[in-house]
Amino acid sequence: MSKGHIIKTRLFAPDLYTRDLYLESAERKISQGLSATPNTAGGVTAEKLARAYQVERLTLTAAAIEIDEANDYGSIKLVDLPDSNIVILGVIVDLVCTEDDVVITDPEDIDYAIGTVAITSTDFSNAGEDNLTPEADVAALGVMQHASDTNTNNVFLAKGATNKVFLNIQATIATTATQTFAGTVDLIFVDLGSES
C-alpha cells in the first residue's frame, strides 16, 4: 500500500489592523482611507461615514390608473419613502402599458413620467410631476423603458415632507378610461439620516 504524502506550503495572509479598516454598523461608519485630508494641525480629525446607496425594485402587477376625461391625466402612488433626508440618484422604468382598447386604442397616445407628486396638470407643468424621470411617450406595444437624465437625478427630499413617488400619465380623451401597467421601477437613493 502506498503512503500518502503531505506537502507543506506557506500561506501568506495580510494582517488587518484597526487603522486600516473600522466598521460599526450601528452608526454606519467605515474608515479605509479618507478621500479628504483633515487639518490635523488645527485639531481636525476625520473618518469616513458610509452612506451606501439603496436600490429598491418596485414591481407592478396590473396596476391600474384611471384617466378622467375631465382632466386628461391620472396617477398611482408607487411608494412612501422613509421620513428622512433623501437624495434620489435615479429611477429606471421598465414597464408595459395595456391600454383599455376602447377609449385609447394606441398606447403611444399616452405620456408618462415618474415624480414626487401626483400629476394635476395636462402637460406635466407643475413642480414634482416629472422630476424623477422626464416626460416620455409610451412606445409601440405599450413599452415604457426610461431612466433619469441629468435634469432629473440627485433630487433632494427633506425630512418632514411627504416623500412619495408616483407614476403619472396623461392622455387627451373624451371618455374616462383605465389603463394597466406591469413591470418594474428601480429606485436608487441615499438616506442621509433624519437630522434636521
Q: What is the CATH number of the domain that holds 108?
A: 2.60.120
How high is the pLDDT of residue 1?
52
In the chain, % of residues over pLDDT 90: 57
Look up the pTM and report it.
0.77
Residue 61, C-alpha cell as written in the block: 402587477
In-domain check, residue 22: yes
Q: Are residues 66 and 142 in the same domain?
A: yes
How high is the pLDDT of residue 2?
53
Q: Are residues 21 and 61 in the same domain?
A: no
> Cβ distance 81 to 165 under 8 Å?
yes
How high is the pLDDT of residue 34?
55
Q: Are residues 139 and 182 in the same domain?
A: yes
Q: Are residues 138 and 62 in the same domain?
A: yes
Whole-angstrom distance, CA of residue 196 vs CA of residue 187 = 24
SS3 state at 141: helix
What's the angle, vertex CA 47, arms to CA 46 and CA 48, rounded to 5? 130
Whole-angstrom distance, CA of residue 167 vs CA of residue 64 = 11
Residue 16, C-alpha cell as written in the block: 488587518
Whole-angstrom distance, CA of residue 90 vs CA of residue 186 = 8
Mark the ranges of the chain whose per-residue pLDDT is less than 70. Answer: 1-35, 48-51, 196
Q: Are residues 39 and 75 in the same domain?
A: no
Tally of domains in the chain: 2
